[in-house]
Amino acid sequence: MHNQAHFIPLVLMFVFGLQELADNLKESKKPLVHKMTVILLAVIFTFAYINLDAAIIQPDNQAGLKTIDLANLKTLNYYVADRENIITASRSALQSTVLTFTPNYLTAQYDFVMQWRAKSQNLPIPNTQIHDDDSLVYIIVEPDKEIPEQRFAPWYAKVQNGRLRLRSEKVGVLLLETWINKELAAQSNLPIYEASVREQMCW
């Protein structure tokens, strides 16, 4: 989300800068001013392309844009279904969170797609900060193959605390899971996901 927050003022600065350059070009006929303007524009467009390449063309994640979109779509579908089924069963409001884990902690691509998908379905943008009293926690996980015990394990422990796993599936390289508050699971009489032998043995 931080990348998107920085993007808006950068765009405004870029537009304002172009307007100032255009005004200067109209007022000045000096060759040096024209040369400096061309150089400045080249620097600005190069900077913009580098950021575009990093954010969209070659994003810093292990999943492609299509996989990210599908994972977010499935998560939102679960979100909608759970609010219909579990609220009916428990007769209580649900507080939920959607969390994304990537080994490099860069989740801007996931956050952007999630916001776009939620808005297109007229759904509220999901909360992305976990709380102890969250009824449901949906997670999207990129595999951490280097130091999972230092990065993924502590993050995952917070998700598991006081909750039971409701579902688990893979979308490409991504792992999608839903975790539900233990008391809510008991009230709703929901079937809890049990890992297969293949999963337990990491086959």
Mean pLDDT, to the nearest integer, of 28-40? 64
- Asked if pLDDT for residue 119 goes beyond 70, the answer is yes
Mean pLDDT, to the nearest integer, of 20-25? 61
Model confidence pTM above 0.85 = no
Mean pLDDT, to the nearest integer, of 125-144? 92
pLDDT in tens, 41-68: 677 666 665 555 555 555 556 688 899 9
- Asked if pLDDT for residue 188 goes beyond 80, the answer is yes
Q: Regarding beta strands 163-171 and 174-181, do their DSSP bridges make them parallel or antiparallel, or are they unpaired?
A: antiparallel
Confidence band of 152 (pLDDT split at 50, 70, 90): very high
pLDDT in tens, 160-187: 999 999 999 999 999 999 999 998 888 8
Confidence band of 159 (pLDDT split at 50, 70, 90): very high
Position with higher pLDDT, 31 vs 140:
140
- Listed by start position, the domains of the chain span 2-57, 65-200
Amino acid 33: pLDDT: 59
Amino acid 89: pLDDT: 65
- Asked if pLDDT for residue 113 goes beyond 90, the answer is yes
Residues 6+ apart with CB under 8 A from 109: 55, 56, 59, 61, 65, 68
Least confident of 34-43, 138-147, 167-176: 34-43
Amino acid 189: pLDDT: 82
